[in-house]
């Protein structure tokens, strides 16, 4: 069974950094692109970033470009999202998803940016 488990969320102040992780199991992680999608409280889904199977190609939404960095460690079956200079508007549940089409989703991890 495909499983994605996010971790690393929490309450942080504006301007600080946070790194999210997503542990994958049940499929050959190195064969698939991966994505991050977020959902602010009471709002819709917003695509954040994507990465190719090898990690050699990355994609970002304009709202996070230059602040967030997606990466992966295929030896550890883990996806990462390094989030720098966090803003209040980054407050959301962050989901990792299998491939760029987001065919399987994790349960999400909540990031709250507030002073």
Residue ranges in contact with other proteins by CB under 8 A: 35, 37, 44-47, 50, 59-62, 95, 100-108
Please say which residue, 56 or 62, places its beta carbon nearer to other proteins.
62
- Provide, rounded to whole angstroms, the least separation between the CB of residue 61 and other proteins: 6
| Ordered alpha helix ranges (H), the chain | none
Read off the tokens for 89: 């508007």
Q: Which is nearer to other proteins, 78 or 109 (CB)?
A: 109
Which one, 27 or 59, has the nearer CB to other proteins? 59
Give me the least distance between CB of 49 and other proteins, in Å please. Answer: 8
d(CA 86, CA 88): 7
Question: Smallest distance, Å, CB 53 to other proteins?
Answer: 16
In sequence order, which residues have a C-beta less than 8 Å from that of residue 6 and are 6 or more positions away?
20, 21, 22, 94, 95, 96, 106, 107, 108, 109
CB of 76 vs other proteins, minimal distance in Å: 23
Cβ distance to other proteins smaller for residue 18 or 106: 106
Round to whole Å and give the CA distance between 26 and 2.
4
Q: Two tokens at 98? A: 């299998």
């Amino acid at each position: 069974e495909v499983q994605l488990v996010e971790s690393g969320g929490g309450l942080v102040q504006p301007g600080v950094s946070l790194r999210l992780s997503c542990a994958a199991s049940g499929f050959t992680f190195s064969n698939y692109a991966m994505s991050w999608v977020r959902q602010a409280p009471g709002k819709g889904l917003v695509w954040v970033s994507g990465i190719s199977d090898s990690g050699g190609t990355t994609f970002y939404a304009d709202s996070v470009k230059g602040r967030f960095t997606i990466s992966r460690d295929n030896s550890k079956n883990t996806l990462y999202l390094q989030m720098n200079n966090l803003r209040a508007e980054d407050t959301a549940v962050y989901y990792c998803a299998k491939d760029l089409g987001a065919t399987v989703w994790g349960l999400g991890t909540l990031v709250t940016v507030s002073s």
